[in-house]
Amino acid sequence: MEKTYYNPADLKKFGDIADFEPELAKKFFDYYNDVFKEGALTAREKALIALAVSHTVQCPYCIDAYTAGTMEMGVTEKQMMEAVHVAAAIRGGASLVHGVQMMNKVKKLSM
């Protein structure tokens, strides 16, 4: 086993997952490429969503790829950070909204 779980060089090997299961990998990459094509959303908007989601799923490969990707598209640092805050707000909000469950339980148990 490697001494660290993440190696930046592994990002380039993403395509290698096809070595162990080519058919499913092909399906995945075809789907992936189609998802990021210009559609009802622009490629730029999709890349920003991807950047935000990368932070939510805490994927260092994705953060690496979509930081470079959004920079290439001319997205500003401010826009990138706002996207990260959107991810953080949803993540934080998701925790906090469960506080209602906690409060419901407290109220139910309390005299």
Partner 1 sequence: MPKSLQAQHHNLADKATQLKILSNGIFADGQLPTFKEKIEPLNEYPLKPTSIEIFQVNVGYMCNQVCKHCHVDAGPDRKEIMTRETMQQCLDILRKTKIHTLDLTGGAPEMNPDFRWFVEEANKTGVEEIIVRSNLTIILANPKYHDLPEFFKKNKVRVVSSLPFYQADKTDRQRGEGVFDKSIEALKMLNAVGYGKAGSGLNLDLVYNPSGAFLPGDQAGLEREFKKELKEHFDIDFNSLFTITNIPISRFLEFLIRTENYEDYMDSLVSAFNPAAVKGVMCRNTISVDYDGHMYDCDFNQMLGLKVDKKAGQHISEFDLEKLENRNIIINQHCYGCTAGAGSSCQGTVA
Closest to partner 1 by CB, 12 or 107: 12
Pick 56 or 67: Cβ nearer partner 1: 67
Residues that bind partner 1 (CB under 8 A): 12, 42-44, 68, 71-74, 76-77
**Cβ 88 vs Cβ 55: under 8 Å:** yes
One-letter amino acid identity for 82? Answer: E
Instruction: Identify which of residues 17 and 71 has a Cβ nearer to partner 1 in the complex.
Output: 71
Using the minimum distance from each CB to partner 1, give the nearer residue, 21 or 82: 82
Q: How far is the CB of 90 from partner 1 (least distance, A)?
A: 26
- C-beta of residue 35 within 8 angstroms of C-beta of residue 50: no
Q: Are 61 and 10 in contact (CB under 8 A)?
A: yes
Whole-number minimum distance, CB 69 to partner 1, in Å? 8
User: What count of other Cβ atoms lies within 10 Å of the Cβ of residue 40?
Assistant: 5
Residue 35 CB contacts under 8 Å (≥ 6 apart), including other chains: 46
Do residues 80 and 48 make contact, with C-beta atoms less than 8 angstroms apart?
A: yes
Closest approach of partner 1 to the CB of residue 37, in Å? 12
The CB-of-50 to partner 1 minimum distance in angstroms stands at 14
